[in-house]
Structure 1
């Protein structure tokens, strides 16, 4: 049986994180007989996280390793804390399973994903099907890599254009069978530890967003596959820690680190010229959406203060200038 390390990185979703851990430790779940350990990182939560987790640890015992940080490391660096620790283990795990603090197992997803990786030697990563609480319909958890066309189509958001360019859309769809995809949601994904180790784990330049896309792209370029596994199921309360949700992301102001991650992903993986083209596609799409929305009397989908924030934290770094704060 394989060793599997479950990693949960929490920031201000502590009660949910306790539920996430309990869903893994549930004695009704056997995890296919695999040896499962849980590693819970608290990224200096301000919701009383340390005290809550210390109390919960009494019941968890040595089944859970707790990391109470004094700095918010973000998603990738928070996971890297555990991944680098596991790297020094004389017998590191065969698989690592990342589970968001705002997610929990709906079935024995750990067993399903581990079995899939064991029987698909070319797969480096496998993601679970996700559901909103109380909703029998799955939500999107599998994606294509972003590019110029998808950036323009998503920001322009005009029905005929969106339908014509659907094959380029980043989001593939919700009701998917088990299939190979470009990347999967980091909310519930299992990976081969040795593959991630050889690739250097998450790029620490990212604070939040695009870090899992970047790592999956590196896996793909190294010849590995990524799969969506419909048989593995989790419940996911999207964006509980970040307040950037699919349903309202176009109507709120996005944080500076979102734009930084966006430009860094494109610049790192495709070069500065391509990143500037992607930026141009996004600006043109947003401008077109604003005009169409006003003409049609509808609400625009662009994030609030988009142009100023994108210039300050997206375009400036692409042009070799320092980002500026716009708080």
Structure 2
């Protein structure tokens, strides 16, 4: 189906814009129609430029864009360069306007762009903004995050810290929750809807290219906070985020719920070495190994008692070996492997 003339068109490269939206696509053809339809509806009354960076998907997405979104700027990579590097490719196309990083499996509400830009304009100290997220069933998803902690993360992983680890990271809707703030300050926001002020990009830049996937938003938000900017999550508009659609198809992504992704472990090692030095890296490595050793022992004991699967202990043992293997492969957190 050709471009729907009843919906707003996007502005071309080089033209003045109120907002540039970056979409990184990796085998996400199934999400593109809904993503573009909701994005066009939300763009009414705004000059929006959309830049799609395709990470060598090979799934027909480029052909779909040529037919259904010819007004989008398309960058076609010959290889999958990862999430952070792909978003960085959009920077040369920017003017002074803010940049919205939007996942292809994130579907904006009709008011999302207007509400987010208004919140950014209302507070000159606000450098970076996320929004309330829900899943396909309308259930709240974590959006306003805390910076990771090594000890708290270990305690949560091995079961010493009870309860939902994301319970205090959910953003309540003020329309249904009396007293819920419209704007919630936080440490970092999830990258599926990630609005960055242009001045922040000029001062701080965007993502550290060493992160292939995971931790790039955490690192960028930390640097943004260190530069004196505030970060918050807006609760008055809601974005539906499916989650994991593209990442699950990447090499190094673990399919099992108990198996830790190679991509996550590598990025964690790079992050803790960068922001904690050698001591931070060795602490992260030690706690990661210890956590999997504890979990492997617990799984083995449960299996012996007939309360767990016999293979669970082996999964945690593989995770522990993965921590050590990747620590060596990254030069103990000093370089990426991809």
User: What band does the TM-score fall into relative to the shorter chain?
Assistant: 0.7 to 0.9
Q: Which has the higher contact order (CA 8 A, sep 6+)?
A: 1
Question: Aligned match of 1:236 in 233, 241, 253?
Answer: 241
Question: Aligned match of 2:322 in 297, 309, 318?
Answer: 309
Whole-Å Cα distance in 2 between the matches of residues 320 and 204 of structure 1?
14
Q: Is the 8 A contact 2:142 2:166 kept in 1?
A: no
Is the aligned partner of 1:284 residue 2:297?
no
| Partner residue, 1:192 | 197
| Partner residue, 1:203 | 208
How high is the TM-score relative to the length of structure 2?
0.81
Q: Is the 8 A contact 2:292 2:320 kept in 1?
A: no
How high is the TM-score relative to the length of structure 1?
0.83
Tell me the CA shift for residue 259 of structure 1. 2.2
| Partner residue, 1:89 | none
| Partner residue, 2:280 | 274
List gaps (5 residues or longer) in structure 1. Answer: 87-91
Is the aligned partner of 1:9 residue 2:15?
no
Whole-Å Cα distance in 2 between the matches of residues 206 and 305 of structure 1?
23
Question: Aligned match of 1:46 in 58, 61, 73?
Answer: 58
CA 1:71–1:96 in 2, change beyond 3 Å: closer, same or farther?
Answer: same
| Partner residue, 2:258 | 251
TM-superposition CA deviations, 1:125-153 (whole Å, max 9, x none): 110111111x1221112211112213312
Aligned residues: 305
Which structure shows the bigger proportion of residues in helix conformation? 1
Bigger radius of gyration: 2
List gaps (5 residues or longer) in structure 2. Answer: 1-15, 173-179
Please give the secondary structure, in 2, of the residue aligned with 1:290. helix
| Partner residue, 2:169 | 173
Please give the secondary structure, in 1, of the residue aligned with 2:31. helix
Is the aligned partner of 1:132 residue 2:143?
no
